[in-house]
Amino acid sequence: MLNTLLGSKKRMGQTFVEDTRVPVTWIKVGPCIVTQIKRQEKDGYWAIQLGFGERRIKNVSKQLQGHLKGAIKENKAPRFLREVRFDSDPGLNVGEVVSLGDIFKKGDVVAVRGTSKGKGFAGVVKRWRFAGGPRTQRTCSGINRSRNDSRASL
């Protein structure tokens, strides 16, 4: 039984539960499309590949278009692809759409796992909150530093 869906974070907010403010996160979940089925006989394990989001077909490589042949609808291909493992045959076919109502019911407790967008290589000011130093006076360095330090600045 499938118990996984893909989604993306939309915004943050708050709600009140018994006079206590609780932070909440809005997540856009599904619909996800089945893009590939891995079988025990061929691949050595059972899994399905889910696709989420959409992007125009012109922005997808020819190799990926061939891989997503049964999942491309209305010239839109899935943006994100993730694999979900199973112990036995999942009972889904390529091209089937899995939505939120097919898996979860109101009141179900869910576990959410996220991946950060990443911020690239950070310098010391951003990473460790170092001060940047003066911008106008006494900003020279190296050989001329001693000469300029001895001068009076107005």
Residue 142 has pLDDT above 60, yes or no: no
123 against 77, higher pLDDT: 77
- Concatenating the DSSP letter of every residue in 48-72 gives EEEEES-EEGGGS-HHHHHHTTTT-
Report the pLDDT value the prediction gives residue 16, as an integer from 0 to 100: 96
Report the pLDDT value the prediction gives residue 59, as an integer from 0 to 100: 93
pTM beyond 0.85? no
**What domains, with CATH codes, occur in the chain?**
7-112 (3.30.160.810)
146 against 131, higher pLDDT: 131
Report the pLDDT value the prediction gives residue 123, as an integer from 0 to 100: 82
User: Where do we find the tokens 């796992």?
Assistant: 113
**Tens digit of pLDDT for each residue in 54-98?**
999 999 999 999 999 888 888 899 999 999 999 999 889 999 999
In sequence order, what are the beta bridge partners of 83? 49
Contact 80, 52 (CB under 8 A): yes
Report the pLDDT value the prediction gives residue 140, as an integer from 0 to 100: 58
* Average pLDDT rounded to a whole number, residues 118-137: 78
Peptide bond just before 31 cis, omega within 30 deg: yes
